[in-house]
Structure 1
Amino acid sequence: MVKIDSFSVESWMDKYETKCKYNIAETCCASISIDELRELSDTKDVQIVQTSNALSYGSIRGSDTLRSNLARLYSAKSTVAIDPRNIISTPGAISANYVTAYALVGTGDHVICHYPTYQSLYDVPKHLGATVDLWHAKPENKWLPSIEDLKALIKPNTKLIVINNPNNPTGAVLKKPLLQEIIDVASAHDIAIMCDEVYRPVFHSITPLDPGFPPSLLSMGYKKTIVTGSMSKAYALAGIRVGWVASHDTEIIEKIAEARHFTTISVSQLDEQVAAFALDQNTVHGLLARNIQLAKTNLELLERWVAKNEDECEWVKPLAGTTAFLKFHREGKAVDSVEFCEKLMEKTGVLFVPGSECFGAEFKGWVRIGFVCHTQVLKDGLAEATKFLRKNLDDVGLAK
């Protein structure tokens, strides 16, 4: 039997997210309804879901409309357009990431994974029998990993490099020059790269005018690139469970398609219709404008809060995405992040995610905050968290 480790962050959310009063641990842009989605569109009178269609499996690899809309978005600022046939829909990005690993790695292979990041990105390859090395990013370097460290991790059997850009939990961005260096390393050894881009394009603190602004890795010319995404984070539609995997490499896509037959068959027709409407050119710009503005507004609140509580916490301000990683301490010593989050939840109903439990034991004192919730929830939750820091921080043990 395959040994499967506990999926710590999902177990934490499962335990607390329906019991909290202020959920500022969630990583999605504040979720919207179908009615709200319609209001954000320029075509408000269009029927989003075709209720007269027979509910068959539908198009096995994903609806033509959905895949064409995704291809348009990926091709918009790329010199090489992607063929919609090289995009496959999945039930969320977690499935896209899983089936990619399932198709490409196994016993005897070696995988390198950007870290810290979402646990499944490095644990699933382990479950499949691969050896995994973590490519560490550190706060003193603004959560950017070293390209020299990556080179040192390469082995003769390295099959896959996994990156997450923008990053969960730090909100850091691997900028274009670093992405090119990663490609250069991978191409020199004929290694595939998988980039989880679920938080793209929520760029709230870096603009396309920045020379380092990161394009999708799919547009950077390296054929053995795979990118994954979903409707959950940047598009505020986690409930429809639609994700995707895309690559210019037809051989890779065919391997993934074969692997996917064993896991999914197809994605719900109803879900894909909602996703296709959201990604249509008449809707997607209004939807993203709403979510990026929400991120900017809320990040200003969080930045002021961190400054107000600088004696108790520190951070590297995120550049993109929906999450921030904060370190809490007492007199310069890191607190026990699990105890901190548990007591915060107990005393105030505010939900944070403990870094040492959910992202690695070395992240003592670190917690993840999901700040792109509804603004009033963030305001009220942070106000309660301030009271906790003033009244209860001394009761939280220090990290061991």
Structure 2
Amino acid sequence: MNRATTFKLANWIDEHGHDAETVLAGSATPALRVKDLESLSTDPQSTASALDLSSIELGLGSPMGDKGLRERVASLYDGGQTLLSLDNVVIANATTGANLVAFESLLSAGDHVICMYPCYAPLVNIPKALSCDISYWRLDHGKRWEADTATLESLLKPQTQMIILNNPNNPTGSVIPIAVLEKIVDIARQRKITVFADEIFRPLFHGVDADVAPTISLMELSTTYDKTIVTGSMSKVWGMSGVRIGWIVSRNKGFLEKVSNVRLYVLQAVSNIDEIIAREALSERCRSAILNKHRDIAGQNLMSFDDFACKHGGVVSWVRPSGGGTAFVRFSQAETGRPVDDVKFCRVLKERCGVLLTPGSLCFSSARDEDFLGFVRLHLTVMPVTFRRGVQQLEQFLESEEWKSLFL
């Protein structure tokens, strides 16, 4: 990993977020407090008991993670039936650690990797640091960020070892429809290629009933093809970025053996206090209430931005996200369609109005610096009062003379 490129997204937020009045540059749901789990629980007394840390032994836990937690993680992927057990789950240090361990375990120098693009930058940059050959499976804003399997097939090489998905996608908020996901697995099966999916934003979907999602987990297709692996964590959907618990899920025994071995070198163990909190949050008595709370927050903010985008249709272009905590929004000059200089726009907006957004060309252009010019990532799962304030300040800025000087 000594060849890892600069993590520009994290650096941008760290550098500019500390003194911004309204931060719309992130992607997580609002942070929960431990006592919130009791108030959200259908059985507060049992939740309080489960979270009592007074008798916890502060030693190393299981090499694969707490058994009760692994059982609850496995249940996230059951698709209405029992597909997985705790033996299919390895606990890691958030998705950051899960992705690193998975890539270190399954990729080697010279392997060809196809990665969905745009995506969360480490999904490209870690394989690149491992000296893999990267091909970018480009999603097109003009085609609603849809994943085109014909394009995927055109990128295949004899040495292709892995297809990397980000579903729901960060930054676009697009999801891969079930039929397309099935086609991806079919393509991989024919060539015995591993399919990896970072599903950290699952199951946060928008505009759907709780029981009807626009996609499924890759794990729900693992019964037909087991060279599949999924990662997730407590950070985004569950409002627990400070609980550094993530996971790696697979039906492939060989994958899990490799992952477990590398985990011992990289992590050895995670905090058993964090495991206890995560285990309770994913219990039946807490899980639905947390998810519904965060779906409601996202829904309110989507409605607010829908109104804003309609009002400024000549300037603002977006594909309404189907899932996740972010949207990828293009700002351009109404008269000519010229894109805004997104980096300068984000800097000036923060300086003048105190609103921080994430510039797309800086933070998501892994292939070419000129990719995603004019795009910014917008955080959809902050508290609605914060989101509305940020949108109001953004609207005022679009009426200023300074806005007119920011186009490329």
TM range, normalised to the smaller chain? over 0.9
1:200 offset after TM fit, Å? Answer: 0.5
The 1-side partners of 2:266 and 2:302 are apart by: 38
Could you tell me which residue of structure 2 aligns to residue 200 of structure 1?
A: 202
Q: Decide which of 358, 361, 374 is 2:363's aligned counterpart.
A: 358
The 2-side partners of 1:260 and 1:324 are apart by: 33
Letter in 2 for 1:98: L
The 2-side partners of 1:346 and 1:144 are apart by: 35
Q: In the alignment, is the contact (CA less than 8 A) between 2:226 and 2:252 conserved in 1? A: yes
Task: Please tell me whether residue 2 in structure 1 is matched to residue 2 in structure 2.
Answer: yes
1:2 offset after TM fit, Å? Answer: 2.8
**Deviation sequence 1:221-243 (CA, Å, 0-9, x none):** 32111011010111111111111
1:270 offset after TM fit, Å? Answer: 0.6
Could you tell me which residue of structure 2 aligns to residue 347 of structure 1?
A: 352
Structure 1 residue ranges without an equivalent (≥5): none
**Deviation sequence 1:156-198 (CA, Å, 0-9, x none):** 1111110011100001010000000100000000011111101
**Deviation sequence 1:127-179 (CA, Å, 0-9, x none):** 11111111000011110121111111111111111001110000101000000
SS of 2:332's partner is strand
Using the TM superposition, name which of 43-52 and 237-246 deviates more: 43-52
Q: In the alignment, is the contact (CA less than 8 A) between 2:63 and 2:260 conserved in 1? A: no
Q: In the alignment, is the contact (CA less than 8 A) between 1:71 and 1:82 conserved in 2? A: yes
Task: Please tell me whether residue 298 in structure 1 is matched to residue 307 in structure 2.
Answer: no
1:213 offset after TM fit, Å? Answer: 2.4
The 2-side partners of 1:275 and 1:392 are apart by: 49
Q: 1:276 to 1:340 in 2, by over 3 A?
A: same
Task: Please tell me whether residue 101 in structure 1 is matched to residue 110 in structure 2.
Answer: no
Structure 1 segment 1-400 matched on structure 2, within 5 A: 2-45=2-45, 46-47=48-49, 48-78=51-81, 81-207=83-209, 213-220=214-221, 221=223, 222-330=225-333, 331=335, 332-360=337-365, 361=369, 362-399=371-408
SS of 2:242's partner is helix
Q: 1:208 to 1:292 in 2, by over 3 A?
A: closer
1:325 offset after TM fit, Å? Answer: 0.7
**Deviation sequence 1:324-362 (CA, Å, 0-9, x none):** 111011231101000000000001111100001001131
Letter in 1 for 2:167: N
Q: 1:81 to 1:394 in 2, by over 3 A?
A: closer
The 2-side partners of 1:49 and 1:103 are apart by: 36
Q: 1:76 to 1:185 in 2, by over 3 A?
A: closer
SS of 2:400's partner is helix
The 2-side partners of 1:286 and 1:364 are apart by: 39
Q: In the alignment, is the contact (CA less than 8 A) between 2:161 and 2:193 conserved in 1? A: yes
Q: How many residues align?
A: 397
The 2-side partners of 1:308 and 1:108 are apart by: 49
**Deviation sequence 1:38-75 (CA, Å, 0-9, x none):** 21111212231422222111222110110011112222
Letter in 1 for 2:349: L
Letter in 2 for 1:135: W
Q: Which runs of 4+ in 1 moved over 6 A?
A: none
The 1-side partners of 2:209 and 2:166 are apart by: 19
The 2-side partners of 1:112 and 1:225 are apart by: 14
Letter in 1 for 2:147: P
1:206 offset after TM fit, Å? Answer: 4.0
| TM-score relative to the length of structure 1 | 0.96
Structure 2 residue ranges without an equivalent (≥5): none
1:77 offset after TM fit, Å? Answer: 2.0
Using the TM superposition, name which of 103-112 and 301-310 deviates more: 301-310
The 1-side partners of 2:400 and 2:150 are apart by: 45
1:320 offset after TM fit, Å? Answer: 0.9
SS of 1:36's partner is helix
The 1-side partners of 2:302 and 2:277 are apart by: 29
Q: In the alignment, is the contact (CA less than 8 A) between 1:62 and 1:267 conserved in 2? A: yes
Q: In the alignment, is the contact (CA less than 8 A) between 1:160 and 1:194 conserved in 2? A: yes
SS of 2:139's partner is strand
Letter in 2 for 1:12: W
The 2-side partners of 1:96 and 1:40 are apart by: 28
Q: In the alignment, is the contact (CA less than 8 A) between 1:163 and 1:196 conserved in 2? A: yes
Q: In the alignment, is the contact (CA less than 8 A) between 1:86 and 1:246 conserved in 2? A: yes
The 1-side partners of 2:253 and 2:42 are apart by: 35
Q: In the alignment, is the contact (CA less than 8 A) between 1:205 and 1:318 conserved in 2? A: no
Q: Identity, % of aligned pairs? A: 32
Q: In the alignment, is the contact (CA less than 8 A) between 1:340 and 1:396 conserved in 2? A: no
